[in-house]
Structure formats: C-alpha cells, structure tokens
Structure 1
Amino acid sequence: MHRIGAFFGSYNPKIARNWGEKRVLEEKPTTECYQTLSSAYDYFNSALFAGQLPDVIITFHRQRKVMGYASIGRWVNEKRQYVDELAVNPEYFAKYPLIEICQTLCHEMAHIWQAHYGSPGRRGYHNAQWAKKMVQIGLIPSSTGKPGGQNTGEWMMDYVLLEGPFHNACKELLKKGYRLPWVDRYPVYRLELPITAYDDKGSEYELTENLNPRPTAAIAAMRAEKDASAVMTEQSLSERRLGSEHEEVNRFYDDDNLSELITSKPKPRSGRIKYACKTCHIQLWGKPGLNVVCGDCNKKLSEVI
C-alpha cells in the first residue's frame, strides 16, 4: 500500500540543520502541547461546569477560518465506549490573546454540556438553553459580539462579562503562569485589537495583559497619545476602523452524534476575502487564495481574519 504525504512550510537550511541536531527538551513537544490544553479543559470544567463534563479527546485542526469545534461521540474504542472530540486551531495561538483561545475552548465546552445534559437545537441554531448556560459561565451570547445583539440564532458570537465567572477563572489561570508552550510559526494574521470585556450594563472596558480593567483615565490618556502621534491619511484611518470590526462567527450544531460542531468560523458575508499590508496598512478585497504584493513596500499582503 502506498502512503502519500506532504511537507508544509518554506525550506530554511539553517533551521533544517538545527532540526537535524539532537535536541534535549524537558518534555516531548507533543505531550507538552496536548497536556497544556487538557489541563485548561480540566480547570474550566471544575471552575465553570462543576466538573460535570466528560473526558474528551483534544485534537488540533487547520480548517480555514475555524478556531475550534466539538464533535459529539466522534471517537470509540473496542469496548464501544464513545468520547467527544474538542478541536482547536493552532494557527490562532500566536496572534490572538490567550483569553480568546480560552473563550473558544469554553464555548465548545458549553456545547458539550448541552449535548450530555440538555437539548441541543436543530442544526445551525443556538437555542435559549445554550444561551442560558453561556450566561451562567460568564460568556454572553450576541449576534454582534457586543451588547445589544440577539442571544439566540443561526449566527452567534459571545463576549466576556466583566468580573463574571469566566473572566475571573481566566485571570486566576493566568496568575498560575498558564501559557501555550508552542505556537505556529505561520499564524493567522490579525490587526491589533484591545482585549475587552463588558459589564452587566453594557459598558465596555479594555483589559490589561493580566485581564484587569484599565482605569478610565488611563484609557483616555493612551488614546489621546495615540491620536496625537499617529500620522495617517483619512483613508487609512477609515480602513483601520473597518479592520477593527469583529467578524461574525458561524457556529452550528448537528443532531447526529457523529457530526462536527463548528463554533468559531467567521460568517461568510460574500465570496471575497480581505487582505492587508502589515507595513502600509492598505487593504483590499478579493477572491480567496490571491498572491498580492504591496506596490509601496513590495511586501506580500496577508489575509485578515
């Protein structure tokens, strides 16, 4: 039987030589990666779900524009015991804040909870029971990703409740030194956005790296300094505002036990993709898979998620 494989990534002789050398690591990278995610699953299971969730098999996937999914009853052993799969996309690890990776993880866990203890909605629909559970753990469902959106429906995002259960649990996890030990060298490019949370009145707060809310005066000073020092054209300012808009998330649930639950895929608004130059901040829209080079700096434009 012939086996077909593939090699991904550019060839760098220097790096290749380093790979060929005998490396002494404290722990095997595969074990370290999966144990890190498994420990986060166990931590949030205890902190937010009272330890109710079953063990799962955590996997990596690289589906385009999908941060994670859950697939109920996807794995089976010789004893006919079924286990759910929870998959995360490592291409988002390097550029996205750790709280958003944990947010994706907990969103999938809410779907796993509903699959075992509730009544999931029809394919593609986030129902009221799911929304209620999300609110209980401190992730507020919203069709816009901000206060004021619908909390049920086909397309659904969520935002962090300030000082809610998830926010507080995530802060404690970071205090313990939690981190992702390995990240992808070719991550998904993302425009710089602040880490935010909202209180129960819908007011927005920027969070520090430790997930503490910044004082209002400090935020105003930072914004004023940024505005004073920025040298940008009116067009580029407009483009940056467009780049800071949150994409809607395409999440669906399939009633079949062996179906995938995609919960972090941006909703396709058209067949076009946004591309941006990291240096000049120009942006354009085009079909997927374009190889576009900026005419000003001669650097390749990256897809914006």
Structure 2
Amino acid sequence: MQTLAHEMTHLWQFHFGKPGRRGYHNKEWADKMESLGLMPSSTGKEGGKRTGDSMSDYIIKGSLFDQMCQSLLTSDFRISWADKYPVREKIQEAIENGTIEDISDELEVWGVELIENEDGEIIIDMPEPVPTRHKYSCPQCAVNVWGKPTLNLVCGDCQVNFVVID
C-alpha cells in the first residue's frame, strides 16, 4: 500500500504539480506524501532527508494512511493483479497439478504457448521482456550511462562512440 501511494503521489504531481527532474523527489512531492501520512525519508527511517533521488518512506503512526490501511487490512479487502511476464515456475506448477485450464485466459493474454514435444513433455514458449533501456559505456574512460536502445552517444571527454553493454 505504501508503494502504491508513493507512485500515485508521483502521478498526482505529474498532473497537478511541478515534478522535479527525472527521479528526483522534490519538496512538493514530500509535502504531499506527508499530508497522506507517509513520511519521505532517504533512509526509510526517521532522520532521513525528505527529498532526493533515491527516496523511501515510512508510515506516520496514527495518520490517515495508517488508519485507512488498518481498516482495509482487517476487512476482506484484496488487490488482485496479473504479472505482465508470469513466472515460468508458476506455469509449470499449473501443468504438473493439472490446473493449467484454470489459467488458460491469462496464458493467452500473456502470449504464452504450451507446445508438446516428441517425448510428450510440455514446453513453455513465452515472450522475453523487451528492454526499454540499455547501458552504454565509453570504451576509453569507462563512463556509463543508461538510455533508450536507439541512442547514438559520443563521450564528450574522449570524443568516441559509446558501446552497448549487455
């Protein structure tokens, strides 16, 4: 629930506030988090910085967030979801337990195919996640950056092309 609120605060700020640079959690974001009952903290504990790049948070005892979570968690409340890329072991377990039909709709949505080989074994054929960014490195000074797979980067210090690191 904390993570969901943390990410929803980013969404709120994107639509109604002024987000900082990518990845930076600014004062506006921190103030909104605190108003919800989550204290921003660079350490995830009391005493951490309220703003920065790598931020966590902790629940303010007795806050609205704390009260609402207690209410939800002591009721029949549930969050259900489906992973975009399901774990192969989960599918294998369903095959072994004979419950694969129970998840057939999900398999179709996930793009998973079950193929029987000549030995009668079922092979799980599923798409691999497509990376949305690559790690690039300067071959001379070893500076690393992350970016879209289609970038053509040149090191400003060495004047050489970055190479993709897999």
- The normalised TM-score by structure 1 is 0.26
TM-score by length of 2: 0.47
Q: Which of 1 and 2 has higher RCO (CA within 8 Å, sep 6+)?
A: 1
